[in-house]
Amino acid sequence: MTGAKSVSASFSPIPTPSPVVTLYTKPEPEGNDTSVVLSSGEDITLIWSSTNATSCTFIPQEAEKDGNWSGHAGPVGTSGSITAPVIGDTTFTFTCTGGGGTTSQTIKAVIGESAMNSSSSQLANVIGSVTKNVSITENVISPGKFYFTKWLEEGSSGNEVMELQKFLNNVGYDSGTVDGKFGSRTEEALIRLQIANGLKSDGIVGYEVRSFLNK
Q: Report pTM.
A: 0.48
Cα distances (angstroms) measured from residue 29 to each of 10, 191, 194: 50, 19, 18
The one-letter amino acid code at 50 reads: S
C-alpha of 60 from chain center: 17
- The answer to whether the CB of 16 falls within 8 A of the CB of 44 is no
Model confidence pLDDT, tens digit, residues 74-107: 888 888 888 888 888 888 888 999 988 999 888 8
**What is the distance between the alpha carbons of residues 110 and 96, in angstroms, rounded to a whole number?**
24
Domains of the chain: 20-111 (2.60.40.10), 116-214 (1.10.101.10)
- The answer to which of 79-88, 117-126, 158-167, 177-186 has the lowest mean pLDDT is 117-126
**What is the distance between the alpha carbons of residues 69 and 92, in angstroms, rounded to a whole number?**
10
Where is pLDDT greater, at 34 or 183?
183
Q: CA-CA-CA-CA torsion for 64, 70, 76, 78, nearest 10 degrees? A: -110
Which residue(s) pair with 111 in the sheet?
Answer: 38
